[in-house]
Structure 1
Amino acid sequence: MVDNNQEIIIETGEETEKISRGSGDTPQIVNSDSIPLLALRGVVVFPNMMLPLLVGRDKSVEALEEAMVNNKEILLAAQKDEEIEDPEIDDIYRMGTIAKVKQLMRLPDGTIKILVEGLKRARVSKFEQVEPYFEVKFDIVEDEELEEDDREVEALMRTVENKFEDYVKLKEKIPSEVMLTINNIEDPGRLVDVIASHMSVKIKQQQQILEAVSYRKRLETLYGILEEELEILEVKDKINSEVKKQVEKRQKEYYLKEQMKAIKKELGEEGGGGSEAEEYREKIEEAELPEEVEEKALEEVEKLKKMPPRANEAVVVRNYLDTILDLPWNTYSEDKLVLDNVEDKLNEDHYGLEDVKERILEYLAVRKISNKMKTPILCLIGPPGVGKTSLGRSIAEALDREFVRLSLGGLRDEAEIRGHRRTYVGARPGRIINAIKDAGTKNPVFLLDEVDKIKSDFRGDPAAALLEVLDPEQNDEFSDHYLEVPFDLSDVMFITTANVADTIPRPLLDRMETINISGYTENEKVKIAENHLLPDLYDNHGLEDKLNISSNALKDVIRNYTREAGVRNLERTLAKICRKAAKKVVDGKERPTRVDVRNLKKYLGIPKYKYGKIEEESRVGVVTGLAYTSTGGDILNIEVSVVPGEGKLTLTGKLGDVMKESAQAALSYVRTKEDEFDFIDNFHEDYDIHVHVPQGAIPKDGPSAGITLATALVSALANQPVSGTIAMTGEVTLRGRVLPVGGIKSKVLAAHRSGIKKIILCKENKKNLEKVPDEIKNDLEFVFVEEMDEVLDTVFSEEEEEENEDQ
């Protein structure tokens, strides 16, 4: 409310008017000129009413800003239809309220929050303008003067007060203290406005009250609206009372049913929930559960016995007991520990992968001698398409165990591993327990796929939950939140797969025995295609006797159409040939189709890659490196360009932090060799160096490119070309020492696929070549170095030899 004896200055064009307020008086507005109009949606403002409003429409904001510039007064009028976003003149009621803007606050979303006080009723006489805001001329609607002895109005006031008191009793949202204010109002116009402002009625009804000019008309209109609202509220209260009686009736029925159960129990005639509980008790005793589990299950049976059959809690208990009984607490698959049979099965399903097969056979040999050894956790790490998942399935078949696969890619919720507590709605066991239940045995082969792609957020860390699952020292008492009893996972043979080891959490990786699957050689891919891929493709496409693909064509597909570590793209490419051959069969071609090197392009189009022709010519500032990615080994072309500038080093190609640091270290080393090579004069002050790794959209990181970066820098600064048939990998220190790196087998296979002839490696990596097939090593020349000087001597001496041969 407005303070008493406050004086407001209103500027109206040429003259200034003062509106004086006495004790409790309403301001009197005279000599009015045009005024901004604010169209309201869903609300009517009455005089003597203080109300907050949100202003967001452009036209409304313009009107409000115009009002604030002048005298902070504005005409508030309601829209006839609050759904209209941009109202026209005919969409706005003519009767409104002159209001004063008491407070204004701009919100972060661009809307404006204001506090307005209604002053006087006013009728729009003319719209002066419509854009950019409504501006109108208006006439003040003065309240009539009340006669001192007008008993009819007095009677109407008392009747309205009594009706509103009944309305307040039925309307829960209106505080009872409002009646204290109403009872102290003597002015009939003010009484109507205050009561109307507290009622939740339609806009049309509020507008009827606002437009009533005489006191008698206002009171009669308000009385009629109160009568209508009271009838609605009384019906609503009646409905609520009937619903309450129905609920009380159900509670009474429940109480009587419980008494009935107690009587039947005393008479030995127990039924209903009691009989169901006895059925569960019998199943639990027959299941021969572990002692702790049986005790917990019987506790739940006692709870079920005391619950009404249709209660929500009874459903939760039944689901829990069903889960307990469905789990294989004592069911095992008997291992077929005949090593020769297992070895034959593994060789039949997978070509190569000798390390993995050997490790499986070693484990089974120990199990055959002694059952005391805890089951190891094997982690198969390798690029996509090398057979990690299918290898797990073959192990299960070889052991005659059930096979369970669970994909962990993108898993974020810890409850997916540990389960939900039964206090939550929709609680269920974790995916580990569910998978064991579906397998039906306590010792399946459990494959956890893509363990390197686990995520964590506010829902917990699934990797931490997996520690209890995969740790042989504690998984014999794995605790699922839903079960609330331990379950022994020590008999489960867990196998995990990952593309790279770097993203596996260190504590989790520590629990596993890693086996790296680097990829397949060309000959291995040909054997896999002939023995596994093509028979399945012929069978699936109905081409058993209608298609023949030669070995040379397979090699051509591997070299020129699928450059990968695994065989997944090879299978897709061969499937493309099968589809085209199937089309020929349907078109009426009867004789078998033979695909060889000569007609391969008809089926696959132009080759995607040029085998053995990667950067054959020698180029300045371009050096081939070797990298290990999530898809296997790959070659990495590093380019260096020197241009006039200020000595800046620019790195592009979406390089990670490790590669950026390697580039800085390589440049620092190269600057120490300025006296030994014929570098560009003052290159570190007058020239900018730009290091770029093509395929910029692909992130690249790792410590494998140090010597490659240093060689490329020396080549560019000394204008010395480097042969495209040389590849290298290794890290370099500031002193020029070459450090060993990982992924050697994958990198060597990638170099061989790309047609590289010579590979420079750190001397300490020589031992890593033992796992590289001899057929690959015989096609390549290896140079082992310890210092960066040896790398530069090897690279540039070869260029000199080639130049001499050309001459």
Structure 2
Amino acid sequence: MEEQIMNMPAVALRGLTILPGMIAHFDISRERSLRAVEEAMEQDQKIYLVTQRNVDSEDPTQEDLYQMGIVADIKQVVRLQNDVVRILVDGISRAALLGFTGNEKYLEAEICYCDSNADSLPEDLREAMLLGVREAFHRYAAVVGKISKELIRQIDQYEDLEKLIDYVTNNLPVSYELKQQVLEAEDINDRYQVIVSLLLSQVEVISIKNELQKKVKVRVDKHQKEYVLREQLGVIREELGENADSEADEYEKKLSELDAPDYVKEKTKKEIKRFRNMSSSSSESTVERGYIETVLELPWNKMSVDNKDLDHAAQVLDDDHYGLKDVKERILEFLAVRNLTSKGESPIICLVGPPGTGKTSIARSIASALEKKYVRISLGGVRDEAEIRGHRKTYIGAMPGRIVNGLRQAGVSNPLMLLDEIDKVSSDYKGDTSAALLEVLDSEQNCRFRDHYIEMPVDLSEVLFIATANEVSGIPKPLLDRMELIEVSSYTENEKFHIAKEHLVEKQKSKNGIKKEQLTITDGALKDIIRLYTREAGVRSLERTIGKLCRKAAREIFKDSEAAVKVTKTNLKTYLGNPKYSPEKKNDHAEVGIVRGLAWTSVGGVTLEVEVNVLPGKGELVLTGKLGDVMKESAQAALSYVRSISEGYGIDAEFYTKHDIHIHIPEGAVPKDGPSAGITMATAMLSAITDRAVRADVAMTGEITLRGRVLPIGGLKEKLLAAKVIGIKTVCIPKDNEKDLEEISKEITDGMEIVPVERFSQVEKIAFVK
């Protein structure tokens, strides 16, 4: 290969490679490049063009340039705006860059022409190479499908191997780096291998591209542009094995920051990987997204710090609630035990009592005292097991159960969770809700509670569960066994007065926009509201009545902003209308066949007048007053006992076959049931049969047996409170209930004689007029 060395003005090209036989134009603006063009035009219009390796270099050195460039003829020079010149050149011959002359005015290169060795190739090898290049180009043209027939015809006519290679390279839409590889190959054999490899590589790339486009075309609707773009992206990622997704990346970032057990992270990582491979428009993707977000939002190991100061807890309870001394003491004991144990394994509390006695607000106060997050879950009417355990992900609209959702809402794993109205849960064909609660409330099991939706164990041992119920009878026995009961009993009239004065009046004033000095309710008016306008165990109705009073006052204040309303016993009727209830009183004098009994209902204690009449008949027992089955059986047992002792009172044995006994309990529209009226009905029947009067100031409660034994009853406090309200002086209670008197405040028992009895004979001595 003969070498010709010479000096020539040079221009460094950026992002462009020119080969022999190629006509191209480019813009130059660098000062030295402009001078080099001017110098070339003054000489023989030849210029040396070499490509920069680094396109960002403004003043390139030899190291910044490729080794091989090209000598070209300048065909045209056009000056543009902003000192930019457009040059049209025609590539002539390859030339190697040996160095620069050091010319300061313009870039002058020392170059060496490179002659080809194509002429020295054997004829058969040259022909083989020509065929090889043409065949490779034909394959390229076949996959591209947009090559003109003229171009293919010209390529087929080339007989000069070197010119053919240059011509093919010039017509390939590839990067300048790939074209530079052809230019750099000095030997014709190397150049042949580079061009054929380049063509075959392009064939593979374009084939893959066409295959991807075919797959996308099958999958998508041509009218949905966004869908098309997403599917193209999905297929490309699928082919490359790179399913990166912005949402999945965000989930992985959150997972890395999540404080959770290892098994949670492992499963969630698998779910995120599965989510990556799903089509974003599929329904499964939506389900998976919801599941991952739920798991990431759960507070697995995130806990709040409890306030363990019992004095603070006592102060909060006293500020929020009046009375309830026993309840407060039990709660403080409960909290003390919880402070001593590192985990929440102390018994689960169930507050049982009539409506309106503050069970829910007590739970809220405990949360406030401990500075815990508070979550209330209402179980009233819940009858689907999935409400507790969650739905399986296979169902449409699946979601976690209420327990897990409560944790999610609280944001910590140790909140106070109130299970309100636990006695109101029911069951149907979808499962037993109370059975699902067993695992939640069992301290031996709830450390690994399994929600059907989450499908991973959730630790509930740190949750402070407090349940509320109106009646214990509505709670299934296995569930009741897992809870410790605290009775929140009815309020006395005095307690209601203090609650109203210290809490309810101010609350309702604030709620109705009334300032403190604008409304005054006297103590006498409050007592009359309690006695004449409400009748309940709690204070909910009392609060509503005070709210009604405040609204009436607000109307007057709105008309006259200077007005100050004062409600007294005298004008109370003006605001609330006629009293709803008449004060219930005991009978004025002793009567035959009428006995005052005591009963417990869901709204507190009440008194019942049991009336008995003896009528000529066929020996039938008639019961009226909407009595339940238990009470009917109790009446039958009482009659049997009275018949067994009739001989001692001189009653003829034929008496019961010739007379009917009618037992009636007034307020016949109100359902009544329970065994505790046994001794009351027995006393009333004996009174009517023997025609002996019963003292009007005596009330009684207790179950009777066929042998005259008196058995214990429940709700003693409420029953004594009801007797106290109507002025009863003497109350007979079962002997076995005597121990319960210790828990009843003196406020209720003062002024009453409470007589424990074991047998009916003792009741008889107390009740009948001597």
TM-score by length of 2: 0.68
Q: Does 1:659 align with 2:631?
A: yes
Q: What residue number does 2:556 align with?
A: 584
1:554 to 517, 526, 530: 526
CA distance in 1, matches of 2:672, 2:217: 70
CA separation in 2, counterparts of 1:422 and 1:533?
A: 47
Q: Choose which of 463, 468, 477 in structure 1 pairs with 2:439.
A: 468
Structure 2 CA distance for partners of 1:723 and 1:560, relative to 1, 3 Å: farther
Corresponding residue for residue 789 of structure 1: 761
Q: What amino acid does structure 2 have at the position aligned with 1:422?
A: K
Secondary structure in structure 2 of the residue aligned to 1:502:
helix
Deviations 1:384-418 (A, max 9, x none): 11100111111111111111111111111111111
Match of 2:489 in 1: 518
**AA aligned opposite 1:379:** C
Q: State the match for 1:682 in structure 2.
A: 654
Matched residue type, 2:290: N
Q: What is the Cα deviation at residue 331 of structure 1?
A: 1.6
| Contact 1:383/1:631 (8 A) holds in 2 | yes
CA distance in 1, matches of 2:578, 2:751: 27
Match of 2:474, SS state, is coil
Contact 2:419/2:468 (CA < 8 Å) preserved in 1?
yes
Q: Counterpart of 1:708?
A: 680
User: Residue type of the partner of 2:757?
Assistant: V
2:318 to 332, 338, 347: 347
The CA deviation string for residues 194-237 of structure 1, in whole angstroms up to 9 with x for no partner, is: xxxxxxxxxxxxxxxxxxxxxxxxxxxxxxxxxxxxxxxxxxxx
Of 335, 340, 343, which aligns to 1:364? 335
Partner of 2:610: 638
Q: Deviations over 1:489-545 (max 9, x none)?
A: 111111100111011100000000100011112221111111101111222221421
Q: How does 1:126-145 map onto structure 2 within 5 Å?
A: none
Residue deviations 1:646-666 (CA, integer Å, cap 9, x gap) = 111122222222111111110
Aligned with 2:259 (options 288, 313, 316): 288
- Over 3 Å counting, the alpha-carbon distance change for 1:601 and 1:682 in structure 2 is farther
Q: How far apart are residue 587 of structure 1 and its match?
A: 4.1
1:775 Cα shift? 2.1
Match of 1:386 in 2: 357
Is the contact between residue 565 and residue 750 of structure 1 (CA under 8 Å) also seen in structure 2?
A: no
**Cα deviations by residue, 1:240-298 (Å, 9 ceiling, x for unpaired):** xxxxxx99943799999889756546657x35x64433332232122132111112112
Residues 1:565 and 2:537 are matched in the alignment: yes
**Structure 1 residue 467: deviation in Å?**
0.5
Which amino acid is the alignment partner of residue 355 of structure 1?
D
> Counterparts of 1:442 and 1:506 in 2: how far apart (Å)?
28
CA distance in 2 between partners of 1:704 and 1:563 (Å): 22
- Structure 1 Cα separation of the partners of residues 489 and 323 of structure 2: 11
State the AA in 1 paired with 2:764.
Answer: L
Distance of 1:385 and 1:658 partners within structure 2? 28
Q: Superposition pairs for residues 39-438 of structure 1, below 5 Å? A: 249-250=218-219, 261=234, 264=237, 267=240, 270=242, 274-372=245-343, 374-438=345-409
Amino acid at match of 1:598: T
For residues 333 and 670 of structure 2, what CA distance do their matches in structure 1 show? 40
Query: Counterparts of 1:248 and 1:645 in 2: how far apart (Å)?
Result: 97
Q: Which moved more, 1:537-546 or 1:603-612?
A: 603-612
* Correspondent of 1:482 among 433, 453, 467: 453
For the 8 Å contact 1:680–1:718, the answer to whether it is kept is no
Q: What are the Cα deviations for residues 746-785 of structure 1, in whole angstroms up to 9, with x where unaligned?
A: 1111211232222111122111111221122112121221
Single out whichever of 699-708 and 600-609 deviates more from structure 2: 600-609
Aligned residues of 2:259 and 2:302 also touching (Cα < 8 A): no
The question of 1:763 aligning with 2:742 is answered: no
In the TM superposition, 1:577-656 aligns within 5 A as 577-588=549-560, 590-611=562-583, 613-656=585-628
Q: 1:606 to 1:276 in 2, by over 3 A?
A: closer
Matched with 2:4 is none
Q: How many pairs were matched up?
A: 551
Identity of aligned residues (%): 54
The 2-side partners of 1:401 and 1:340 are apart by 16
1:375–1:492 Cα contact (<8 Å) kept: no
Corresponding position of 2:708? 736
TM-superposition CA deviations, 1:590-621 (whole Å, max 9, x none): 45222222332323333333436233333322
Q: Is the 8 A contact 2:344 2:461 kept in 1?
A: no
**Structure 1 residues 678, 546: closer, same or farther in 2, change over 3 A?**
farther
Answer yes or no: is the 8 Å Cα contact 2:585–2:726 preserved in 1. yes
For the residue of structure 1 that corresponds to 2:431, the secondary structure is: coil
* Letter matched to residue 471 of structure 1: D
CA shift for structure 1 position 373: 5.4
Shift of residue 560, structure 1, vs aligned partner: 2.4
Over 3 Å counting, the alpha-carbon distance change for 1:295 and 1:596 in structure 2 is same
Task: State the distance in 2 between where 1:460 and 1:571 align.
Answer: 39
Q: What amino acid is the match of 1:568? A: R
Structure 1's 436 and 264: CA in aligned 2 closer, same or farther, altered over 3 A?
closer
Structure 2: runs of 5 or more not aligned: 1-214
Q: Which residue does 1:238 correspond to in 2?
A: none
Rounded to whole Å, the distance in 2 between the matches of 1:255 and 1:611 is: 81
Closer, same or farther: CA 610–261 of 1 in aligned 2, 3 Å: closer
Q: What is the SS of the residue equivalent to 1:427?
A: coil
Once the two structures are superposed, residues 82-137 of structure 1 have per-residue CA deviations (whole angstroms, 9 ceiling, x without a partner) of xxxxxxxxxxxxxxxxxxxxxxxxxxxxxxxxxxxxxxxxxxxxxxxxxxxxxxxx
How far apart, in 2, do the equivalents of 1:456 and 1:387 lie?
27
Consecutive unaligned residues in structure 1, runs of 5 or more: 1-245, 801-807
**What letter corresponds to residue 485 of structure 1 in structure 2?**
M
Residues 641, 539 of structure 1: alpha-carbon distance in 2 compared, 3 angstrom cutoff: same
8 A contact 1:375–1:491 mirrored in 2: no
Give, in angstroms, the shift of residue 363 of structure 1. 2.6
Matched to 1:544, the amino acid is: K
Q: Which amino acid aligns with 2:530?
A: I
Considering only CA atoms, is the larger Rg found in Structure 1 or Structure 2?
2
Question: How far apart, in 2, do the equivalents of 1:573 and 1:259 lie?
Answer: 69
SS at match of 2:286: helix
> For 1:422, what is the secondary structure of its paired residue?
coil
Distance in structure 2 (CA, Å) of the matches to 1:265 and 1:590: 78
Contact residue 411 and residue 462 of structure 1 kept, 8 A: yes
Whether the aligned pair in 2 keeps the contact of 1:565 and 1:632 (CA below 8 Å) is yes
Contact 1:616 1:723 in 2 (8 A): no
Report if the CA contact (8 A) 1:559-1:753 is conserved.
no
User: Could you tell which deviates more after superposition, 253-262 or 687-696?
Assistant: 253-262
How far apart, in 2, do the equivalents of 1:264 and 1:764 lie? 80
Distance 1:690 1:510 in 2: 42
Offset of residue 468 of structure 1:
0.7
- Asked whether the equivalents of residues 622 and 637 of structure 1 are also in contact (C-alpha less than 8 Å), the reply is yes
